[in-house]
Structure 1
Amino acid sequence: MLLLHVSDTHLGATRPGNLREREMGFYEAFNEVVDIAKISSSKPCQVKILATIAWKSGDSIILRDVSGLREFKIKGSVGREILRLPCETSIYVEGLVEGDYLEVNKYEVIYPSKLECCETDAEDVREYAFNYHMYVGRPRCFKVIRTISILSYLIRNALIFEGFTELQPPILGWKSDPGLRGASKVKVSLYGSEYELHSSLIMYKQIYASIFEKIFYFARNIRVEPAENFYTGRHLVEFTQVDVEEAFTSMQESISLAESILKKVVKEFLNNHADLLDSSRIEWLDRTFLTEKYPVITYEEAVDLLTQHGFELRRGCELPHNAEAFLGEYYGTPVWLTGFPSTARGFYYIENAEKPGYNVDWNLIVPEGHGEVLDGGCREYRVEELEKRIKSTGENPSEYQWFLDIVSKGYVKPTCGWGLGLERLVKTFHGLAHVGFATPHPRLPGVIGP
């Protein structure tokens, strides 16, 4: 049995002017669902389709419309004419659907295309960065872009269900996050003064979590990564971070929240949107993410383990990407890495009172070489300690005076939180070779497309 749901949410963002318009809009939405039901049915049925050719090879064609992608085997001489049309041609088709076969009775070209080839996807991320418009309508890229949208929706819903308030992220500010681990910031001049484009919203998170207690942003950040970070496959210059912050919580509670949110999102995606993934990815995500509680190891335990396996590491420094990749493969599930050295991180992390020199912070490392997808910690909220930490990192406290003044007046309370890299999560879902394929507008270290 095929069940399809229709409600007035199918009317989109349009606000009907009167009840008659609302009624007719609902009927149109209902008829659209009926058409989808016909196409999805295994019984022969007459159909009318308005779609765009996304891909074709031999007698197979994939049509794309607002509902997604559908592959057909074409029958009949009229249908073979469609197979000769260029990809990205929009067509209206009337015909008979039986299972995976479409026998075309008649068709009309609604909007022509001059695209010469669409059988292959971009394998070189540089090619994709400069010509993404040529590839996003093809099945693989189209599914990735849909995944971004759906994951954003599922994450938002999960956080709102937990009582979090979403805030609109700022783009411009006086001073942004200094803890960039080798990247630099973008500065702009406006009205005779210099400002920074945000590389993170860490200080804003602390301020607003102190007021609303539970907040999150879908923040668009920019970091000028060293050009060589192009080759990690994990770095973007412009990226989306789901920034979550909560007041009066602990590391254990914050990690537990992040893990439960992630598992809930993965489960809902596999239950309702698995058609966007290859079967191998479905099995891998289920086996890898929907496990019992993820293992937790400290930075020092990780260094010891990595040293035993031949890695040459400097204690007190960030772990290199290949070391993170090893940890993910070693455990075979996401693994929490906690308690980084204070010298390796930004000034805003609070120091562990029971282990001086180490932060109350954490990363989530995932297998298959995807590395870190989530970074979190508990924040320093005492103005004297903040000033000490800023100086210890070589920063000038006066550049953060606006934040220090807010902290000194008691506006900033104890908070913990985390940032989830949306594109990195999409990369993980699809098993992509480079995170540049996980965004509709790739901006890569040293490679900036249109």
Structure 2
Amino acid sequence: MSDSLVTIREVSGHVGQSVRIGAWLQRKRSSGKIAFLQLRDGTGFIQGVVAKTEVSEDTWEQAGKLTQESSLYVTGLVKEEPRSPSGYELVVEGIEIIQVTQDYPITPKEHGVDFLMDHRHLWLRSPKQRAVLTIRAEIKRAVNEYFDTNGFTQVDPPILTPTSAEGTTNLFHTKYFDEDAYLTQSGQLYMEAAAMALGKVYSFGPTFRAEKSKTRRHLIEFWMIEPEMAFVDLEQSLRIQEQFVAHVVQSVVQNCRPELTTLERDISKLEAIQAPFPRITYDEAIEFLNQNGFEVPWGEDFGAPHETAIAQAHDRPVFITHYPASIKSFYMKPDPNRPEVVLCADMIAPEGYGEIIGGSQRIDDPELMAQRFEEHKLPLEAYQWYMDLRTYGTVPHSGFGLGLERTVAWICGLEHVRETIAFPRTLYRLYP
């Protein structure tokens, strides 16, 4: 046996061998002559079995001292164990304690949400939270894989901006030396500029909304994936969106089966997420809602109950297209055959998780864009660079934005987005 550490994830390659693992004790039970140590090392979980008659007196004594979240090096023989969730077990030969932990705050009993959020730095160690963060990392890997292998170039837009992408006031203000600046709420406008240079681009980074919202779908700081594509119309964009989302979901199904099992996720519902996705227009959505107990006048946006009702009629994400121009952003292109609606779509996730993608074909006519600036009272001097994109070589182009945390919540089957990111920022929480 070498002195180098083996991770729990790697033990399958060491059956019949003695290995040394750095770990924490998740929990312990003992029958007097045998102790069962539930160990974790960040890569996985394994049971270590300590038999009093087969180890030294010192090793048995060390096992007895271990408490929840104590840290240790453990040496043992790897053997196959079909009854174990991982399929393997460690026959312990030696224990070297690093630290015996006293009074670990998060015990196996039930704790309230506020207590767990105050101890988020420790709550992350639990099997469920580890599973969520592992799936989040796989989603991010799959996002990059899809775009990097489909002709997109990743571009990083600024986080500090002089203006708002959406023309709203929900911005975090800061001073940029002697100027006003804001934390970005979207990289979209900058990505449009990048698309005019590189064709197909995407950004993947943090965004910020100073909305005083307390719903289970909202965070103050969250991550967005924002592709922009030159020479692409709405129809082509929708096909890319459904292929992209299906790729991400199936990557998680393929690569995170143990984590989905830990979360008790119904994997069959995820396996059903295959392109193409169903589509309905805003008009059809209004008709459906009004037939199903909702009174929604034409021209109003949909709330969470409306999106959930529409989603429940489908077993995969559904696109709602052609919303009224009056409730959508200034840069969305009107339908040439019906200017009161725009060439846009929201993708609604199944199972009540709401909108995960918003996208549209962008206005490419410089005169119409100038008109929109007047209608929305946007300062032309702040957006002159954006107008230049229509002045110098304008082309049809489309883009969309996917919210990472809502996507993680849906794929993991979580009730609230606060568990989808390591250290969530919500309306009343900036600690830890």
Same structural fold, with TM-score higher than 0.5 when normalized by the shorter chain: yes
Q: Per the alignment, do residues 86 and 378 of structure 1 end up closer, same or farther by CA in structure 2, a change over 3 Å counting?
A: farther
Alpha-carbon displacement from aligned partner over 1:405-436 (angstroms, at most 9, x marks no partner):
x2353155321111111111111111111001
Contact 2:27/2:67, CA 8 A, preserved across alignment: no
Residue 27 of structure 2 is aligned to residue 56 of structure 1: yes
**C-alpha distance in structure 2 between counterparts of 1:74 and 1:418, whole Å:** 52
Q: How many residues align?
A: 412
> Given residue 104 of structure 1, which amino acid in structure 2 is its aligned partner?
V
1:385-396 matches, cutoff 5 A = 385-396=368-379
Query: Which position in structure 2 is the counterpart of 1:420?
Result: 402
Q: Per the alignment, do residues 199 and 64 of structure 1 end up closer, same or farther by CA in structure 2, a change over 3 Å counting?
A: same
1:340-351 matches, cutoff 5 A = 340-351=323-334
Alpha-carbon displacement from aligned partner over 1:323-376 (angstroms, at most 9, x marks no partner):
111111121321111111111111111111112111111111111111111111
Q: Secondary structure at the match of 1:96?
A: strand
Q: CA RMSD in A?
A: 2.7
Q: Secondary structure at the match of 1:447?
A: coil
Query: Which position in structure 2 is the counterpart of 1:305?
Result: 288
Residue 76 of structure 2 is aligned to residue 95 of structure 1: yes
Query: Which position in structure 2 is the counterpart of 1:272?
Result: 255
More helix by percentage: 1
Specify every segment of 5 or more residues in structure 1 that has no aligned partner in the other structure, as ranges.
Answer: 1-26
1:224-243 matches, cutoff 5 A = 224-226=210-212, 229-230=213-214, 232-243=215-226
> Given residue 200 of structure 1, which amino acid in structure 2 is its aligned partner?
S
Q: Per the alignment, do residues 122 and 347 of structure 1 end up closer, same or farther by CA in structure 2, a change over 3 Å counting?
A: farther
Q: Secondary structure at the match of 2:69?
A: coil
Residue 120 of structure 2 is aligned to residue 137 of structure 1: no
Q: TM-score, normalised by structure 1?
A: 0.84
**C-alpha distance in structure 2 between counterparts of 1:162 and 1:121, whole Å:** 48
Q: Secondary structure at the match of 1:356?
A: strand
**C-alpha distance in structure 2 between counterparts of 1:176 and 1:28, whole Å:** 56
Query: Which position in structure 1 is the counterpart of 2:49?
Result: 74
Question: Which deviates further from its counterpart, 414-423 or 239-248?
Answer: 414-423
1:38-437 matches, cutoff 5 A = 39-40=11-12, 45-53=17-25, 55-56=26-27, 58=29, 61-65=37-41, 68-72=43-47, 74-77=49-52, 78=59, 82=63, 85-98=66-79, 99=81, 100=84, 101-120=89-108, 124-178=112-166, 184-226=170-212, 229-230=213-214, 232-278=215-261, 280-281=264-265, 283-290=267-274, 293-404=276-387, 406-410=388-392, 412-437=394-419
Alpha-carbon displacement from aligned partner over 1:181-232 (angstroms, at most 9, x marks no partner):
xx71112112211112110012111111111011011121000122xx31x3
**C-alpha distance in structure 2 between counterparts of 1:299 and 1:131, whole Å:** 43
Q: Per the alignment, do residues 82 and 233 of structure 1 end up closer, same or farther by CA in structure 2, a change over 3 Å counting?
A: farther
Q: Secondary structure at the match of 1:265?
A: helix
Contact 2:324/2:340, CA 8 A, preserved across alignment: yes
Residue 402 of structure 1: how far off its partner (Å):
3.7
Contact 1:176/1:199, CA 8 A, preserved across alignment: yes
**C-alpha distance in structure 2 between counterparts of 1:58 and 1:361, whole Å:** 57
Q: Per the alignment, do residues 433 and 286 of structure 1 end up closer, same or farther by CA in structure 2, a change over 3 Å counting?
A: closer
Q: Per the alignment, do residues 310 and 262 of structure 1 end up closer, same or farther by CA in structure 2, a change over 3 Å counting?
A: same
Query: Which position in structure 2 is the counterpart of 1:442?
Result: 424
> Given residue 421 of structure 2, which amino acid in structure 1 is its aligned partner?
T
Q: Secondary structure at the match of 1:281?
A: coil
Q: TM-score, normalised by structure 2?
A: 0.87
Contact 1:56/1:118, CA 8 A, preserved across alignment: no
Specify every segment of 5 or more residues in structure 2 that has no aligned partner in the other structure, as ranges.
Answer: 31-35, 53-58
Q: Per the alignment, do residues 117 and 56 of structure 1 end up closer, same or farther by CA in structure 2, a change over 3 Å counting?
A: farther
